[in-house]
Every structure is written in structure tokens, then in C-alpha cells.
Structure 1
Amino acid sequence: MKFKIVKVHAVAKWCWQASDDNCGICRDPFECFCSDCKAPGDDCPIVWGQCSHCFHMHCILKWLQSQQVNQQCPMCRQDWVFKE
């Protein structure tokens, strides 16, 4: 029995490799995007702190701007330092 392939439809899925499933600030899944973005992907990456908590980049930047005196992680209240 022989088959002839007429069409192929490729399907792909991407996801972030994060310790949590949701952003701790906006509570949206990391596979989605924050409320400031219109589409998921490189425009809304996940960023990690040295405390190992991760958030959408736009969410943590807004959070840090609102914390004018002590810029702390919203989850553990340690001083926020971006993990390199």
C-alpha cells in the first residue's frame, strides 16, 4: 500500500521555561501576554530576579516604577535585582 502526501500543515507551540505558570503581578499565564501587549512573544519576555521569581517584563517594570523608595520583588519583598 502506497500513500501520496498532498499537503502538509506544520504546527508548532512555544512556551517559556519558568518555575511558575502565571505572572505574579497580572496573574495571566506566561504563554499569554501582559495587558500592555497585543501579541505574545519577544515583545513581552519573562524576566527573572535574583530571588528566582519571574514576571512579564512590562509588569515588573510598572511595579518597580510604582515603588519609588524600595524597589522590591512583589512576591518575597527582597530587593529586586534582574538576574543575568
Structure 2
Amino acid sequence: MKVKIKCWNGVAVWRWDVPNEEVCGICRVHFDGCCPTCKTPGDDCPLIWGECTHVFHMHCLLRWLQTEGSRGQCPMDRRTWGNFEIGFFF
């Protein structure tokens, strides 16, 4: 018996490769989703790692750093914020 495939539709799943964390520490949305500002996850809603190794949606962190109460500190451990890496990769 032979089977002939007439049509094939591929499906892919992506996810951020974030060790030890599953949700943004600011908005509490899963990293595979997107921040409240964005409509779709992925390159338009990148993640940003701090020198302290905490990870956030870039838009959430930028809003946080613009508030007076942030004092330029990480929202998780209150160390001075320093960018380590912005994730535009899967």
C-alpha cells in the first residue's frame, strides 16, 4: 500500500530560552507570550537580561525605568540596572 501526500502544512513552535525564569518579573506574563503593550510575541517584544541575570520584557523594563520610584534599579533585587543582553534570538 502506498500513500501519496497531496498537501503538507508545517507547524512550528518557538520559545525564549530563559534559564530559571518563566515569567516577566514586572507584568507576570509568560515569556512565550508578550507584554501588555504588544499584540504578538517574538521579535517585536524582545527580552532583556540585566547584569544581575534577571530577565524582563524590554517594554516592561523601559516603562519601569522611566518611573521615579525605579531610581535606575532592577525591580527584582534593586541593584543598579545594567543591560547585559537583549534577546532577539530563539
Instruction: Name the counterpart of 1:9.
Output: 9
Instruction: Name the counterpart of 1:18.
Output: 18
Maintained 8 Å contact 2:15/2:32: yes
SS of 1:55's equivalent?
A: strand
Which has more strand, going by share of residues? 2
Which of structure 1's runs of 4+ aligned residues deviate more than 3 A?
Answer: none
Give, in whole Å, the separation in 1 of the partners of 2:67 and 2:39: 23
Instruction: Name the counterpart of 2:77.
Output: 76
1:67 deviates by: 3.6
Query: Which letter maps to 1:14?
Result: W
Query: Which letter maps to 2:61?
Result: I
**Taking every aligned residue pair, what percent have the same amino acid on both sides?**
51
Structure 1 unmatched ranges of 5 or more: none
Is residue 2:31 matched to residue 1:30? yes
- Larger RCO (CA within 8 A; separation ≥ 6): 2
Structure 2 unmatched ranges of 5 or more: 86-90
Normalising by structure 2, we get a TM-score of 0.87
Instruction: Name the counterpart of 1:48.
Output: 49
Q: CA RMSD in A?
A: 1.3
Number of aligned positions between the proteins: 84
